């Protein structure tokens, strides 16, 4: 295999990895603050992509404006979901699973009936390629990664530097400690869902502009997101970021280095090996 194929693979892996990180970060926030595994998060990503498609292609709004609006729409949607569906089921085991699986079906059917089964596409983020060591890397992937990284930095600064961000981290580390300092847990859950859903909408839009849109496009990223949070350490935000990049690179490089059969099971084998060595995940706490 030549150097240019490797560079392509790494570039693809990187782009994929950051999309996974956007999903995994939302899942992690929701899991660590609400104690809920949001299995319909992939469908939030899918609907986010369709909202951008609707605004941009059907109504003719600028692509970047559409993406920003889609993030806001999905954040509000997340707040509504939290208040009416997930809040009553918090800190229980079975109800959130049933609710989020039901939600998956509802959102998928909604997409099928509204937008149809035929694949749709969002315009590319940019045309053309840039050259890296004699190989062409499409500009739109570079922009997608740039967006994802910028969003993650924003989330990081919010969590680290603002009062409400700190309150969210605190709620994840000790729900009772947060209560006793006057932090309103419902507000923290709303925030977690709003941020998580906005990130998913951004991920769906970025992926949708590189690949295609269809009602089942959220299933695969959700699986990746789940693997990442286990890999990174349940509830660790840094773990979600590093885990996503590792998984993205594995996904990008393996198909180039090995035949497709091996490439499709290898990520899971690698993850299992990592977890055997470090059962609490890469950045897991306990």
Partner 1 sequence: MLFEIKNLVVHYEGAEVVKGISLEVDEGEVVTLIGSNGAGKTTTLRVISGLKSPTSGEIWFQGQRIDRQTPQSVVKVGIIHVPQSREIFPYMSVLENLRLGAFLRKDKDNVKKDLENLLENFPRLKQRSRQQAGTLSGGEQQILAIACALMANSKLLLLDEPSCGLSPIMVQEIGKIISDINRQRSTSILLIEQNVRLALKLAHRGYVLETGKIVLQGTAEELTRSEHIKKAYLGG
Q: Minimum distance between the CB of residue 160 and partner 1, rounded to whole angstroms? A: 9
Three-class DSSP category at 128: coil
The verdict on 91 binding partner 1 (CB under 8 A) reads no
183 to 202, contacts with partner 1 by CB under 8 A?
Answer: 183-184
Are 29 and 196 in contact, with CB atoms under 8 Å apart?
yes
- The DSSP letter of residue 131 is E
Q: Which of 1, 2, 131, 182 binds partner 1 (CB under 8 A)?
A: 182
178: enclosing H helix or E strand: helix 175-180
Q: Minimum distance between the CB of residue 182 and partner 1, rounded to whole angstroms? A: 4
Q: In the stretch 14-53, what mask flags binding to partner 1 with x, by CB under 8 A?
A: ----------------------------------------
The verdict on 282 binding partner 1 (CB under 8 A) reads no
Q: Kindly write down the DSSP assignment for every residue of 232-246, as one continuous string.
A: H-TT-HHHHHHHHHH
99: closest CA among 36, 49, 48, 44?
36
Who's near 34: CB < 8 A, 6+ residues apart?
A: 82, 86, 90, 189, 192, 193
The verdict on 157 binding partner 1 (CB under 8 A) reads no
Residue closer to partner 1 by CB (options 62, 162) is 162
Q: Which of 101, 181, 258, 278 binds partner 1 (CB under 8 A)?
A: 181
Three-class DSSP category at 262: helix
How is residue 181 written in tokens?
């300092």
Residue carrying the six token digits 């994840």: 172
Strand residue runs (E) in the chain: 129-132, 135-138
Q: Which of 170, 223, 256, 266 binds partner 1 (CB under 8 A)?
A: 170
Q: Which of 176, 259, 260, 261 binds partner 1 (CB under 8 A)?
A: 176
Q: Minimum distance between the CB of residue 283 and partner 1, rounded to whole angstroms? A: 10
Residue closer to partner 1 by CB (options 23, 183) is 183
Binding site for partner 1 (CB under 8 A): 163, 166-167, 169-170, 173-174, 176-177, 179-184, 285
């Amino acid at each position: 295999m030549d150097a240019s194929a490797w560079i392509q693979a790494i570039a693809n892996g990187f782009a994929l990895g950051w999309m996974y990180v956007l999903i995994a970060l939302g899942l992690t926030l929701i899991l660590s603050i609400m104690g809920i595994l949001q299995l319909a998060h992939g469908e939030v990503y899918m609907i986010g992509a369709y909202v951008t498609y609707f605004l941009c292609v059907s109504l003719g709004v600028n692509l970047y404006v559409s993406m920003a609006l889609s993030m806001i729409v999905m954040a509000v949607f997340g707040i509504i979901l939290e208040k009416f569906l997930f809040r009553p089921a918090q800190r229980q085991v079975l109800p959130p699973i049933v609710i989020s699986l039901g939600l998956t079906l509802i959102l998928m059917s909604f997409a099928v009936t509204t937008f149809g089964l035929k694949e749709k596409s969002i315009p590319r983020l940019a045309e053309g390629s840039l050259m890296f060591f004699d190989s062409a890397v499409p500009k739109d992937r570079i922009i997608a990664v740039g967006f994802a990284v910028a969003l993650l930095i924003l989330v990081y600064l919010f969590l680290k530097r603002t009062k409400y961000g700190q309150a969210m981290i605190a709620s994840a580390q000790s729900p009772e400690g947060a209560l006793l300092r006057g932090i309103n847990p419902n507000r923290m859950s709303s925030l977690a869902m709003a941020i998580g859903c906005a990130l998913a909408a951004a991920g769906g839009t970025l992926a949708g502009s590189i690949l295609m849109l269809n009602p089942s496009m959220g299933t695969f990223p959700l699986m990746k997101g789940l693997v990442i949070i286990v890999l990174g350490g349940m509830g660790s935000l840094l773990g979600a970021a590093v885990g996503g990049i590792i998984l993205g690179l594995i996904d990008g490089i393996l198909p180039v280095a090995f035949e497709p059969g091996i490439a499709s099971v290898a990520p899971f084998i690698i993850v299992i090996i990592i977890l055997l060595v470090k059962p609490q995940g890469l950045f897991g706490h306990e």
